Amino acid sequence: MTVSLKQMLKSRLLPSDEGLIGAARVLATELQIKLTRSSTKPFQALREGRDLRINLGCGSDIRPGWVNIDLGLGYKTTLRGERVFVAYDLRRGMPLAAGSCSYIYSSHFFEHLEYRQGLRLMADCHRALELGGRFRIALPNYRALFAAYLRGEHGMFDLLTHEIDEPASRQLADYMTYIVYQHGEHKCIYDEERLTHALCSVGFSKAESVSYQAGVDPDTELRRRYSFYVEAVR
């Protein structure tokens, strides 16, 4: 079905049908996800696991010694060796046993979920953590970015120049458009207040803003400049 839809895009739609082409591409991707990334079978091998460390929405940051989970349309599920990766649609929740995890980490992932999807996944993380387990989240620091925009501080955005569709322009509004929407991939804005409230609302005993942590948070200038961090305790 996905193949025939892609063929239709090439053979029947015109360049002027940009909106329809975009919608059809989204549908093709969702069909691929439905067909290949909705099975919970890979998690059965982890059902007896304890003290698991989970990396949610890991992207290409596939960490040894962790259970790395992402849609991963370019990756296949790998349950052997040090680099465990599960290709799965986390919008469906996280099918791990209650109390099986000691640490859950996520960097720049929850802003890609609708708010209610994110809230449900946070609740699932709370369920999967052992008592005293920790959930650490890094997200875009919109508050700092908005403040820099209002001050007219161009230097704050220089690491994002290559992301701008019209590089000859590079006005502050171009950067803000990318930061907020990221080509339609961003679905929700969080700040420290909203995130800590959401985490406590699903049952975490404590959630608070924390600083960058070497060895856990990605050590790139891009992420360190544009992120804030919150840690919650089960």
The per-residue pLDDT for 177 is 93
Q: Is pLDDT at 74 greater than 50 in this prediction? A: yes
pLDDT band at 2 (very low <50, low <70, confident <90, very high): very low
Q: Can you list the positions of beta strands (E) in the chain?
A: 52-56, 67-70, 84-87, 101-107, 129-140, 206-210, 227-233
Q: Which residue has the higher pLDDT, 117 or 34?
A: 117
Mean pLDDT of 86-96: 93
Of 65 and 11, the structure prediction assigns the larger pLDDT to: 65
- Residue 132 pLDDT > 90: yes
- On the question of pLDDT at 111 being above 80, the answer is yes
Classify residue 116 as exposed, middle or buried by CB count within 10 Å of its CB (0-12, 13-18, 19+). Answer: exposed
Mean predicted confidence (pLDDT) in 154-173: 85
CA 87/CA 75 separation, integer angstroms: 7
Q: Among 24-33, 91-100, 125-134, which is the least confidently predicted range?
A: 24-33
Q: Which residue has the tokens 């989204």?
A: 26
Task: Give Cβ neighbours of residue 169 (< 8 Å, ≥ 6 apart).
Answer: none
Residue 27 has pLDDT above 80, yes or no: no
pLDDT of residue 187: 96
Residue 180: pLDDT above 60?
yes
Percent of the chain with pLDDT over 70: 82
- In angstroms, the CA 149 to CA 152 distance is 5
Tell me which of 224 and 19 has the higher pLDDT: 224
Structurally, at CATH architecture level, domain 41-142+184-233 sits in 3-Layer(aba) Sandwich (3.40)
Is the pLDDT higher at 168 or at 59? 59
Q: Evaluate if residue 208 carries a pLDDT over 60.
A: yes
The pLDDT of residue 96: 94
What's the Cα-to-Cα distance from 21 to each of 1, 30, 112, rounded to whole Å?
A: 16, 14, 21
* Averaged pLDDT for residues 123-144: 98
> Looking up tokens 């369920």, which residue turns up?
127
The yes-or-no verdict on residue 233 having pLDDT over 50 is yes
| Range among 37-41, 150-154, 162-166 rated most confident | 150-154
pLDDT-based confidence at residue 1 (cuts at 50, 70, 90): very low
Residue 160 clears pLDDT 50, i.e. is over it: yes
